[in-house]
Amino acid sequence: VGEEHRLRALQVRVPGDDHLRIPRGEVAFDPALEDIHTHVEARLRALVGDLAGKLHTARSRNDQVALDLRLYVRDALVTLVERLAGVQEALLGLARRYPTAIVPGYTHLQRAQPVLFAHHLLAYVEMFERDAARAREAYGRANVSPLGSGALAGVPYPLDRAHVAAELGMEGITANSIDATADRDFAVEAVFVAALAMLHLSRLGEEIVVWSSAEFGYLQLDDAFTTGSSIMPQKKNPDVAELVRGKTGRVYGDLMSLLTLLKALPLAYNRDLQEDKPPLFDALDTALTCLEVTARMLATLALDETRARAAAGDLALATELADYLAKRGLPFRQAHHLVGGIVRWCLDHGRVLESLTVDELRAFSEHFGPDAVAVLSVAAAVAARDLPGGTAPARVAAALAAATERVAQTRAWLAKKGA
């Protein structure tokens, strides 16, 4: 404020690492100093004298706190994108380790159709890709500067708000001073992104819990991510996957706390907004930790290919027979009903579809030709889904390459943000 004071301020030389004293825990916080900003000003006064009193000119705690929170959120969102990329890379690595493995695909937790294991993993890669996209979009909305808004009405000084925003690495300035000091949408959005990422982690954790159980037995977890029972020596509990699943509700609660906090606040700043930080910090800390540990856990998973492939056969090929009949001109509804009768016959006689002969099939319908048994193969069923987004090996290989490229683009974005 004033050219002579600006020049004097530029001549001040603060010790090179003095700004690290607070992060290093070397500052004793004094209750007489109201907040972090007054602590910074007090330290500056000790270094440069009364000139430090200029620091608060054209500022209010309202726009300063709004700025602080935006700086925190943008950094946390960058870390969130980085952790999401880490989970995606772990999933892609697992898919590359088992490129031809076949597992049962499920609906209603009932065996439905065989799919490549890599195809199943890529479904989660897509979920986390959407999470990363949402985090990047939220970053843009958080990364604007409210400085210059003052308490709520703006300030009566000729400030260059855009210059200050650029110095802070921000992409613009807020358009309305009242909104700037009252807005916490960016915090809610960050917690929502975290909550939805936790939802996806929870679904993945649930499948790891189920698929590693004795009843399924498809997956083996590394001992580092399990615990034993205090009384049953045979137990190997998937605790990390369970904890991730359990912590999802905690992040949902943080999101609801923020929404409830904001729902009835009049403009502009209200002291209620002091309560925005515990749920924000907790949600992001929880999500970041869960993403990190999940990526590590995924890197150690082992698939029992033999058991999974056996489960993918059984009666899961019924749809192949119905599709075969439909291609031969039988209306699909009629084909569906007919194959349902074949399945019931197999269950009654302890047979599986793959064991049926052409003569046995023709006993049910003359529409079955000599080539009918060729579709009763898990590999053939997987290969037949040869459309973009399908589970055919060539389509999955292309999807794996595309997903790898998208994660590489995310890493490039992170590099630009200094992550």
Selected catalytic residue, list 213, 229, 337, 355: 229
| Structure token pair of residue 302 | 């082992």
Selected catalytic residue, list 108, 337, 355, 367: 108
Would you say 355 and 343 are in contact if contact means Cβ atoms under 8 Å apart?
no
Centre a 10 Å sphere on the Cβ of residue 397 and count the other Cβ atoms it contains: 14
Instruction: Please confirm, yes or no, whether 213 is among the known catalytic residues.
Output: no
Instruction: Please confirm, yes or no, whether 336 is among the known catalytic residues.
Output: no
* Residues recognised as catalytic: 108, 229
